[in-house]
Structure 1
Amino acid sequence: MTAVKQIEASARAQVGKGAARAVRRQGLTPAVIYGGGAAPEAIALDANKTRLLIYGGHFLTTLFEISVDGKKTRVIPRDYQLDPVKDFPIHVDFLRVAAGQTVTVEVPIHVVGQDASPGVKNGGLVQIVEHTLEITVEPEHIPEAFEVSVAGLQIGGTLEASVIKLPQGAKLTVGSDATIVTIVPPMVDEEPAEAEAEEVKA
């Protein structure tokens, strides 16, 4: 399960595009904490540390505790924007989360067991239908990823969402019969005779 990570932040007195640009010039990333029945709180984060957190993976499924002037708030990132040219973070949205509250997140799916799949050994290809699976879960129980094994699958075999072992109290937002991964037949090259016939027509 995802561990709670700590972030230091400072309060922002000014909001708006001009104020946000001024914050970025100081090497900071403007952000906002919202939800939880309280007013939105404008904050600023260290831009370099924020970039490392985003590119470190699992950012949108990680539970954070943000400290602003000694006041700590438990949050989960809901969105972020990157500069289209330089790829550094220009804004982050955080949602306040309370004990017992659930959030909806997309968890990555990791496929394993290809070496033990008869279908793959016979030339079949692993086709990942869903790269993530959306669940509703308490933030403390968000998994970093779901691992599904295709070991034993023949060509034409599939795995559905029902094979996923969900964390405590979690629920799928899709049907349990939703296909996650399947083993498809190998690609067949065009028959030489047909290819030659097409060339003659041309």
Structure 2
Amino acid sequence: MSEQLKLSAETRERAGKGASRAMRREGRVPAVIYGNNQEHLSIHLEEKALVKMLNTGFFMNSVVMVEVGGKAHRTLPKDVQFHPVTDRPLHVDFLRIGEHSQVVVAVPVRFVNEEESRGLKRGGVLNVVRHELELSCDAANIPDEIIIDLAGYEIGDSIHISAVTLPKGATPTIEDRDFTIATLVGSSGMKAEAAEAEAEAAEAGEVPTVGEEAAEGEASADKTEA
């Protein structure tokens, strides 16, 4: 389960671009708390504390308790805007939630037991289609990650959501199809070796070329007519 995070904040008395720029110069990040049938609350956070949480890698799928004026607000981060050049956080949106609200989060996928995969042992490559899974789950039981076991998978195999064990109470938001998460494919080196082997076999007369196949077909047809 994702760790519950805590942030201290202060209310914003002034709005607008000028006020926001002034806050950023002072090392603060403008933010807003909304949802749960309550009024929006404009706040600002300490940039250093926010960046530290962003660097954990699971900020966006964690419950964040934002304390404003002695009152704690249970929230889920919904959006973080970054500066296009410096990557500094410019603004954060927090969704206010109940303790057991049903929430939608993007949970990272982690693959294990690569050494137990026959396909990877043979030189295959894991082609990851989805690095995250969008899940609907209880706010009190948000998973840190979804682990997928690669043991036994061969080249040509696909890993679909139906083959993944999800935490209790968590369901994928895509319900209309058994979508693919990853596939095991042959490496370019393996394909080149296979093509080279076919070429050598053809030169040795073991595998007929397209022209030879056509000639053999015509010969068979002539014998039949005769």
Query: What's the TM-score once normalised by structure 1's chain length?
Result: 0.90
For 2:32 and 2:133, locate their aligned partners in 1 and report how far apart those are by CA, in whole Å: 27
Identity fraction in percent = 37
What secondary structure is seen at the aligned counterpart in 1 of 2:23?
A: helix
Match of residue 104 from structure 2: 104
What secondary structure is seen at the aligned counterpart in 2 of 1:156?
A: coil
What secondary structure is seen at the aligned counterpart in 2 of 1:144?
A: coil
Stretch of structure 1 that moved more, 117-126 or 172-181:
172-181
Which letter does structure 2 place at the counterpart of 1:183?
Answer: L
Contact 2:100–2:140 (CA<8 Å) still a contact in 1? no
Which letter does structure 2 place at the counterpart of 1:61?
Answer: N
Match of residue 181 from structure 1: 182
Match of residue 196 from structure 1: none
What secondary structure is seen at the aligned counterpart in 2 of 1:40?
A: strand
Could you list the runs of 5+ residues in structure 2 that have no partner in the other structure?
A: 200-226
For 1:117 and 1:170, locate their aligned partners in 2 and report how far apart those are by CA, in whole Å: 27
Match of residue 70 from structure 2: 70
Shift of 1:138: 1.4
Shift of 1:189: 2.8
Which letter does structure 2 place at the counterpart of 1:33?
Answer: I
Match of residue 199 from structure 1: none
| Structure with higher helix content | 2
Which letter does structure 2 place at the counterpart of 1:161?
Answer: I
Which letter does structure 1 place at the counterpart of 2:58?
Answer: H
For 1:93 and 1:167, locate their aligned partners in 2 and report how far apart those are by CA, in whole Å: 27
Match of residue 88 from structure 2: 88
Could you list the runs of 5+ residues in structure 1 that have no partner in the other structure?
A: 194-202
Alpha-carbon displacement from aligned partner over 1:127-172 (angstroms, at most 9, x marks no partner): 1111111111111111111010111111112221123322332221
Q: CA RMSD in A?
A: 1.6
